[in-house]
Structure 1
């Protein structure tokens, strides 16, 4: 058993179990309080945490097998704030530190009770991404409740910009908690005895389904265009981007110049990867990437303002690229190492978490660029238009991830396997 895995994080000690069950009992009491107060959102959240904490003892049929009490305490603190203080929970770094702790508990339980395998380094990365994703999903759900049910979780009468600023601050808190929690948990992992217990069940790593002898489908063969036409289309979009760049330079339009230059540079990345690292980039994949950056750069010339759906289309398409990158990475790690494995049935969840976290980071980047430009009295290269725009972006990020999960992953097998071969080659020379 690799000493870097999660197998020893379900201790079978009476002291750990005593504290763990005590925390569960207190949380069950808070369920009664939240139900009596009609705070059914808190009831749902608390019940979910209790269920997650009780998975190990019920699975092993041993009350001594509980998650580490330190993690249970961190998770419980924000949940106890509402019933014992009489005030709603203020979303801050402490709250998202609890989310990070709960994500780590989930990572440990996935490793113990499913075919998923994680090293502690991979689990910490999962914690950081999950914390950011939860921040995004939480605000999306509140926004939908306000729009559909007339609540005022987010849309409380303030301006779109003011609400959006608060949400960005919440995203910062989530990021700080995620990264801070990752550092704390890394120290925690290294300080504990991680030797596996007698009851630890680590399922054997199955062979990936796509290791079959059949050749993976090619994206270029499914687009309805010949590979030659696909390459020509990519070249045409590069030419238009060059024209947009020249126009931006002539007009001294900084946002257009920055977006066109970056988009044009990205369109040459596939060729660079293929030439320098021998990664397969078929014409369909190149067209996919080029179209995403082309539409974004073109949008900055006025289409974002004049075409209402332009922003949603570009976000979904860009998110699909991020999802593809996430899939290629996860699958490459799957093939490269025996100590990390994500089964096909779970791959979609990991891709969605990856894309939602990337979406939150992108919104923070947009906000930072927009704010910095305002402070320097410059034209913003990236602009946010309020909370509605932010939430729509996050929703279509998720849609892009789902599209890749359901349709696109089969076409990325060659790329992922080539990345894995590169990793194997590097580890073999070290």
Structure 2
């Protein structure tokens, strides 16, 4: 057994090292705040708070995260304080995501497989990167700072943070699951009197509706919902035709892809035999249609329209995230997602999806500059990026509080797919 392993096994030694590292992080936050680098101070403060969650949860100063994890989190903060190293910011975002994943796995009733853990760390990193952009934008607007210097710089920050999120996810699996295999077990897992987790219950809120084939949206019966879907599909088809006639690639992409998306409920019904619901089909069609008409001019004419469509689209993305985690929990014996985790995951999932969408728009702009012509997806500046991410989160919260039940049909589809996949394996 090497020296480091022996130190990890010693609770007091680990606590002493961990508290020393936390103190260094707190000093970094104070120095950063005094120097006027408020965003860096906020990142350091967030890291320190996350580091103290286990201690505060058990009210025991000896209950701390492994010092190696805290050292990994503190390193980029200290480096960024004493030297201008752009990579330090990306590493900080990734390590914050790693701390969140570690604490969920070790100190809560959340259970996740190694594959889901990697995905979760990447999603958290992307979500934190998105929050970081919003935080910097807010600081610039309210405090007169100049953190967001341009779209290109902001987007490369997001791209690098996402890449380091993948690295953090791999480290999570290699280190913590290896610790479990070595016999360390969960760090401070709460158990019942017999050493087992509580039995799972139905996580669905009593206020959420059961989804059936007769569901309605805003009081519309099923027949009228489908009529609305057909009407919106017809409008999108006309725009696709107009794009072909006028040879407008940007309009074609912004109309054809949303039109294809509106046929997803019918495709699911035909391939799986399960009904997603007429209300959800209308929901999807409305979001697709509004995005297309926004792309042809309403986004630039009315700034609020962009935020409205992002909120509406985010509700669908949140529903997709809910359906995935619900299906995973039903089909994987090693997975357990409490109600509180589901709500947080919806917000993380939507923020990460929003970051991925911004990267896609950025890539589309870069491709257009290389080959010539107009970009099929457009970014309108740092304000647009920050507001898009902010209202994506609003949509996720709305679904988490109000509408997850409307996606139970989609969750059943995923459940059957996952069951079929496991049978094949």
Q: Aligning the two structures, in what range does the TM-score lie when normalised by the shorter sequence?
A: 0.7 to 0.9
Find the partner of 1:360 among 336, 339, 355: 355
Partner SS, residue 215 of structure 2: helix
In the other structure, the counterpart of 2:267 is 272
- Deviation by residue 1:218-275 (Cα, 9 ceiling, x = unmatched): 5832422221111111111111111111111111111111222212211112111111
**Which of the residues 155, 161, 171 maps onto 1:168?**
155
Distance (whole Å) between structure 1 residues aligned to residue 189 and residue 389 of structure 2: 38
Cross-structure match for 2:144 = 150
Mapping of 1:170-209 within 5 angstroms?
A: 170-189=157-176, 191-194=178-181, 195=183, 196=185, 200-202=189-191, 203-209=197-203
How many Å apart are 1:78 and its aligned residue?
2.2
Alignment equivalent of 1:21, drawn from 19, 22, 25: 19
The answer for the alignment partner of 1:103 in structure 2 is 97
Match of 1:291 among 283, 286, 309: 286
Answering whether residue 392 of structure 2 is matched by residue 413 of structure 1, we say no
1:24-46: CA deviations, max 9, x gaps?
34334445645665766555543
Gaps of 5+ in 1: 1-9
Change (3 A) 1:29 1:234: closer
- Answering whether residue 125 of structure 2 is matched by residue 131 of structure 1, we say yes
Deviations 1:98-140 (A, max 9, x none): 3323322322222333332223332222211111111111111
The root-mean-square deviation of aligned C-alpha atoms, in Å, is 2.8
Secondary structure of the structure 2 residue equivalent to 1:384? coil
Structure 1, residues 58-96: CA drift from partner, whole Å, max 9, x if none? 55566554323322111001222355x2x5x6543x433
Q: For the residues of structure 1 that align with 2:188 and 2:132, how far apart are their CA atoms? A: 36
Count of equivalent residues: 409
- Give ranges in structure 2 of 5+ residues lacking alignment: 1-6, 192-196
Is 1:387 aligned to 2:382, yes or no? yes
Residue 314 of structure 1: aligned partner: 309
Query: Which residue of 35, 39, 51 corresponds with 1:53?
Result: 51
Q: Which residue of 1 aligns with 2:74?
A: 76
The residue aligned with 1:7 is none
TM-superposed deviation, 1:205:
4.4
> TM-score, normalised to structure 1's length?
0.85
Q: Quick one: distance in 1 between partners of 2:40 and 2:375?
A: 40
Q: Distance in 2 between matches of 1:256 and 1:35?
A: 47
Is 1:399 paired with 2:394?
yes
Residue 20 of structure 1 contacts residue 68 of structure 1 at CA under 8 Å; is this kept in 2?
A: yes
Partners of 1:323 and 1:340 lie apart in 2 by 20
**Inter-CA distance 426–139: structure 2 relative to 1 (3 Å threshold):** closer
1:216 deviation in Å? Answer: 0.7
What is the distance in 2 between the residues matched to 1:34 and 1:312? Answer: 33
Whole-Å separation in 1 of the counterparts to 2:36 and 2:229: 57
Counterpart Cα distance in 1 of 2:29 and 2:259: 55
> 334-343 or 265-274: which moved more?
334-343
Report deviation, 1:338: 3.1
Residues 324 and 404, structure 1, Cα contact 8 Å, conserved in 2: yes
Alignment-derived partner of residue 238 in structure 1: 233
Report the Cα distance in structure 2 between the residues aligned to 1:44 and 1:292, rounded to whole angstroms. 35
Q: Helix, strand or coil: the match of 1:56? A: helix
- Provide Cα deviations, 1:329-350, integer angstroms capped at 9, x if missing partner: 1111122223222222232211
